[in-house]
Chains A and B, each alone.
Chain A
């Protein structure tokens, strides 16, 4: 289960934002992307997750191995914490949600409606979703937003446990998780401006 990114350029709204990126993440490894706002981290992560094709280059991810977590957690406010998790577990054909509930300390909240949770609690639930996907490669976009220090620690422990069992992770984050990870600053890969933007018409068919 190796994620390979070869000489990839990514585009946002038809304009290349990052170019010439290459990296490889193997089992047990994690890569942290750093860089200023707007440099294209989210676009790169969406490309790796398969939501959009790379502008140039190649993303070589094993079939159905990537679990993606974005800025929004994909929670339904009128479902309880447990119902939300169980839904995602069933979508990914898993049955065990207890481990996820334990790992993110959600036991006391399990029968609360997701809509009544605080921002940090929602995020914890959103991250717990990763554990019920059963997928080996985590692609995470700013996973620690709105988490307090204790919750960040829970998250760091979850990532550590995931890596220890042969999983891997690609994260865009600005804070230090205290993990043994490689850090890639994507700033130098910023695309040179002045590239002709792809027209919306062409883009629709790319």
Chain B
């Protein structure tokens, strides 16, 4: 397990591994928004939490098809499936590696990008908290989608279509948490809902992912 995590992280940081792709995309989205809606700071302040969340979500989506497709193409997945590692563990580790290389950088970069959108000072803490709590769910749900579409040529688009609806609850509560944080309102309900979704998918989805992966490897 540890070997798989270390290998995935190593691969992500080497040339062509795709590390930084998500964060660059996130940056571009955040820079483009003021160009498209205009520089009026009141409006930007109002939409900043939602835009930041949507940008982070799309940035996360960008690298999902790499989670399993590359391992499938070079035969690693077949060999891992016949190794002592349980597939439930394999997909969990894959999701963890994806979160560490995509989710964590987004969480770290979000406050910086928040400045670009004129996010009010009290909003930064809850923006970071909402992303830190919400992005693991994005990685775990994304791994499920990757398992569903593994083996399909050009499966990336199908993956996005399947996964985006599943991202809706996380987006709703994550963006709501960040918005309430920015406006200084009570954050208890969205925080609990967001955390509940994240823990729920971490507990359940690896089993579903392993099941569909087994079917796809046949």
Contact = CB atoms under 8 A, between A and B. Distances in A.
Interface of A: 46, 49-53, 64, 66-79, 83, 86-88, 90-93, 129, 133, 203-204
B74 A76 contact: yes
B82 A50 contact: yes
User: Interface of chain A, helix or strand or loop or mixed?
Assistant: loop
B78 A74 contact: yes
Nearest to B90: A91
B75 A83 contact: no
Contact of A78 (B17, B73, B83): B17
Interface of B: 2-4, 7, 10-11, 14-17, 73-76, 78-85, 215, 217-218
A91 B4 contact: yes
24 contacts: A46-B78, A51-B82, A51-B218, A52-B217, A52-B218, A64-B84, A67-B82, A68-B79, A68-B82, A69-B79, A70-B75, A70-B79, A72-B75, A72-B78, A74-B74, A74-B75, A75-B74, A76-B76, A78-B14, A78-B15, A78-B17, A87-B7, A90-B3, A92-B84
Contacts of A67: 82
B76 A83 contact: no
B79 A79 contact: no
A52 B81 CA distance: 11
Contacts of A73: 74-75
B3 A70 contact: no
Contacts of B4: 87, 91
Contact of A91 (B3, B17, B73): B3
Contacts of A88: 79
A71 B10 CA distance: 25
A88 B82 CA distance: 12
Given A68-B82, A70-B75, A76-B11, A87 B17 contact: no
Nearest to A126: B75
A93 B17 CA distance: 26
Contacts of B17: 78
Contacts of B11: 76, 78-79
B72 to A, nearest CB: 9
Nearest to B77: A74
B91 to A, nearest CB: 15
A74 B79 contact: yes
A46 to B, nearest CB: 8
Contacts of B78: 46, 51, 68, 70, 72, 74
Nearest to A206: B218
B83 A91 contact: yes
B75 A71 contact: yes
Nearest to B1: A91
